Amino acid sequence: MATVYLILFFFLAPLLILYICHISKTMKKIGAVVWAYIVGLILGNTGIFPQGSKAFHKLLAGQTYLPKEKALEYLDQGTITSSDMLLNQIHSTQDLVMTIVIPLSIPLLLFSLDIRNSLKTLKSGFLSLAIAIFSLLISVAIGHFLFHDNIPESWKVSGMMVGLYTGGTPNLAALATALDVQPNIFILTHTYDLIVGVLLLFFFISIAQKLLNKILPHFNGKGSHKEPIEVFKESEAPNNLLDLFRKSTILPLAGALVIAIVIFGIGGGLSLLVPKEFQMLTVILTITTLGIIVSLIPGINKIEKTFELGMYFILVFCATVASMANLHTIFQIEFLNLFLYVLIAVFGSMIIHIILSAIFKIDTDTTIITITALSTSPPFVPVVAGALKNKNIIIMGITIGVIGYAIGNYIGIFTAYFLKGL
């Protein structure tokens, strides 16, 4: 029953947020995405969820949750408590929601894109990706030398940070296993990154474009210095999502959702043919590729509100992932050095990236979307693209994010052992 209630909350809360944003100008100015984060953080950090015992968190060891059979076995042995079982069920539900909404959102977001125009931005995007990785390696190395005496096995944290920045949580978990990272260090690193990532995202969806346009070229598809323009009405999304319930749009939109589900199914099916560590990469590559191909079909490309529906699923994702952040223990003084290291890795790499973008004349939107795709992962690309009023950078952002997934483990392991050998 708890699972049902939690799923209903994650899917209904964004609708309530959208309605309130629709009737309140103040709420709308803050933005539905920000409110989704706030609601998720409140849910996960006000005592509604059980905290879980130390034994339970140790058993997780980098996993989101324990398989039900294994959890029941530990419960029978007395290793974990019934409260731990409930928390494990909550974690399982959170993982299920995130597993569903992201593969559905990406095709829907791609269906309305002008693919040919978007592809023009890829050249500068790849240069920006190279700059991002270089900036990350520099900032991670600086953090390692500053804190290696105060953080146990900081070289392992360095490897995890590289994987986390380039490929998100899947790479973080893979590197934690490969490097045999202590469970509490893994959990805290991920938690700190979630908090820093939220701060970074707030910056990008609020004042970043206005500030960076003063030192970087403005976006026009080629990176030349021209005033940016509003290129899509969906920039208001998801605040105007309620319009999709009109009779003229709901049936075609239902058809688009069915197509997205089919694409999800194909991606999921293909992922079963590869080793487990490559399954997430396979799903994202498949749904992105098929989403792009389907968007070239005029009848589907012209369906109204597919972008907004995809943004609704992103809102569900935002509320869910925010509910997973534990604010109760992250600012304990003994872990302050780890928090500062994560802060330096994320914001240090961003500052270096911006300086190099100015040198190589890479435009503002490309710079922001590259950092977003890597530091906060591809699901957040449409969120930031909407705030920038530029949906033509979505494909570039997702492409950069997917490349990050592919190379993150390799760069992370290399960085860890390189720093260890110094």
Helices (H), 24-67: 25-30, 32-45, 54-60
Per residue in 139-190, pLDDT (tens digit) is: 999 999 998 888 878 899 999 889 888 876 667 767 777 787 776 677 678 7
d(CA 198, CA 106): 21
Q: What is the DSSP letter of 345?
A: I
Q: How many CA atoms lie within 13 A of 126 on its CB side?
A: 4
List of domains in the chain: 2-421 (1.20.1530)
d(CA 366, CA 383): 14
Per residue in 265-301, pLDDT (tens digit) is: 999 899 898 887 677 767 877 888 898 888 888 888 8
d(CA 190, CA 160): 9
Is the distance from CB of 112 to CB of 382 less than 8 angstroms?
A: no
d(CA 219, CA 234): 18
Model confidence at 310, pLDDT cuts 50, 70, 90, reads: confident
The whole-model pTM stands at 0.67
d(CA 312, CA 306): 10
Is the distance from CB of 239 to CB of 18 less than 8 angstroms?
A: yes
d(CA 188, CA 330): 7
Per residue in 353-402, pLDDT (tens digit) is: 999 999 999 999 999 999 988 887 666 787 788 888 887 788 888 888 77
Is the distance from CB of 263 to CB of 287 less than 8 angstroms?
A: yes
> What's the pLDDT score for residue 232?
35
Per residue in 33-90, pLDDT (tens digit) is: 778 878 888 888 888 888 778 888 778 765 778 888 888 888 888 888 888 888 888 8
